[in-house]
Amino acid sequence: MRILAIETSCDETAAAVVDDGHVVRSNVVASQAELHRQYGGVFPELASRAHVEAIAPVVQKAMDDARATWDSLSAIAVTRGPGLPGSLVVGVNMAKGISLATGLPLIGINHLEGHIYAHWLSLNGRPANDNPMVYQLLHSEGDLSPFPLVALIVSGGHTELVLMHAHGHYELLGHTVDDAAGEAFDKVARLLGLGYPGGPAIQRAAQGGNPHRFKFSRPRISLNARTVRTAQEEFLFSFSGIKTQVLRLVQAFGMSKDGKLSPQTPVSDIAASFQNAVTDWLVEKTARAAERYGARLVLVGGGVSANQMLRQKMRAQFGSMVAFPPLWLCTDNAAMIGAAAYYALRRGLHHDLTLDVAPDLKLPES
Ligand code: KG4
Ligand code: ZN
């Protein structure tokens, strides 16, 4: 079963051709990072217009790279949410146009589900993720089951801790009550004058820095926080407090009124200490969830899963139970949407041409 998948939820215009839910035949990503760099974050209006420009060539390239013909396809998949409304609309309309022209079934996918399914992908006959044992278990059917598994999705827009009972069957254990983990990296990087996107910049600045020099206090989060969507306080995350603590710290070293750091500011020590604290919190809560629910596997996904310190700590905690996608599947891409769509189609899910975008789509929903 061959699926053409499209992803435009944020600032990457992406299309991919995926066979049988795992074989990546092509994977094209046009990044807008350069466009948004000057704003220190994604500028929604510009993002949707850049998608409009890029979408047709990106889809055509995905088809060409895969040497796929339209009649070799079984379905068209597209991210319908969560994400920026104006960005999602571009991908959804493109997918509808193709579905209308070809008569192929249309299937709208939850972006977060995509980040989880990145683990099912293979390239050139080999598992794409870094743990072949995990990959094998994910693909086994019958007695050997990969479920229940715990997935941590950490990106610029999301921090979700998810218990997955079966294909398409998710339970949200925890989420952030304010900033996403990647957003914290981006905001702290901006504060430290390190540029955008913040994650890679912080990781670079942290090299050679002392991760134990500054201690950040742990966020205290209560269930009466307005934004809470789960009943489990212990699995909630919060990252706005640490950003404020970093601000106080750079101010204490003598920040000017217009945000210029004093030359005395120990940027790499601050970056290293910040990265150390955030990764500690992520690993701790994931470990607690995995133990509580007897998880067989831990799958980490989303842009922040590219972080080397997070990977080291997760491997130290979970050993052979944990897997990470390769860097090109950590950040937004369409191949992961194609993998998720395959399993969704097998469950009988598809949409008609009235499919709308769902900017606030939650995980248990498809
Ligand atoms: O998944 P993604 O490409 O887009 C969203 O759906 O948000 O994630 C982008 C986020 C950005 O916040 C970026 O700073 C972060 O992932 N990121 C990292 C690293 N690489 C990217 N965060 C920490 N360490 C990294 N190495
Ligand atoms: Zn994402």
Residues contacting ligand 1 via CB (< 6 Å): 10, 155-157, 182, 185-186, 197-200, 203, 302-304, 306-307, 331-332
Nearest partner of 28 among 100, 93, 91, judged by Cα: 91
Residue-averaged pLDDT of the chain: 94
Say what the pLDDT of residue 178 is: 94
Residues with C-beta atoms within 5 A of ion ligand 2: 155, 332
Hey, whose CA ends up nearest to atom 16 of ligand 1?
303
pLDDT at 366 over 60: no
Residue 32: the pLDDT is 83
Ligand 2 centroid–CA 7 distance in Å is 10
Model confidence pLDDT, tens digit, residues 131-170: 999 999 999 987 789 999 999 999 998 999 999 999 999 9
CB 77 within 8 A of CB 6: yes
Sheet holding 12-19, edge to edge: 106-110, 75-81, 2-7, 12-19, 23-31, 122-123, 126-127
Give 266 Cα–ligand 2 centroid separation in angstroms. 31
Which CATH number is associated with domain 2-127+329-346?
3.30.420.40
pTM of the model: 0.94
Residues 6+ apart with CB under 8 A from 53: none
| Section 300-327 average pLDDT | 97
Confirm if 275 and 307 have CB atoms less than 8 A apart: yes
- The span from the CA of 181 to the CA of 305, in Å, is 10
243 pLDDT above the threshold of 60: yes
365 — pLDDT class (breaks 50, 70, 90): low
Q: Convert the pLDDT of each residue in 321-342 to its tens digit.
A: 999 999 999 999 999 999 999 9
Of 185, 207, 280, the one to substitute when testing ligand 1's pocket (max ligand atoms within 8 A of C-beta) is 185
CATH 3.40.50.1950 fits 132-324, yes or no: no
Least confident of 1-15, 119-133, 220-234: 220-234
Can you give the residue ranges of every domain in the chain? Answer: 2-127+329-346, 132-324
Best of 331, 333, 361 for a ligand 1 pocket test (most atoms within 8 Å of beta carbon): 331
Q: 226-230, 249-253, 322-326: which range is least confident on average?
A: 226-230
Closest ligand by atom to 47 CA:
1
pLDDT confidence of residue 233 = 86
**Average pLDDT over every residue of 177-187:** 95
Q: Which residue puts its alpha carbon closest to atom 8 of ligand 1? A: 303
108's enclosing H/E stretch is strand 106-110
**Atom 18 of ligand 1, nearest CA residue:** 199
End-to-end CA distance of the chain: 20
Same CATH topology for 2-127+329-346 and 132-324: the answer is yes
Per-residue CA distances from 9 to 61, 68, 230, 253 (Å): 19, 24, 24, 39
pLDDT band at 52 (very low <50, low <70, confident <90, very high): very high
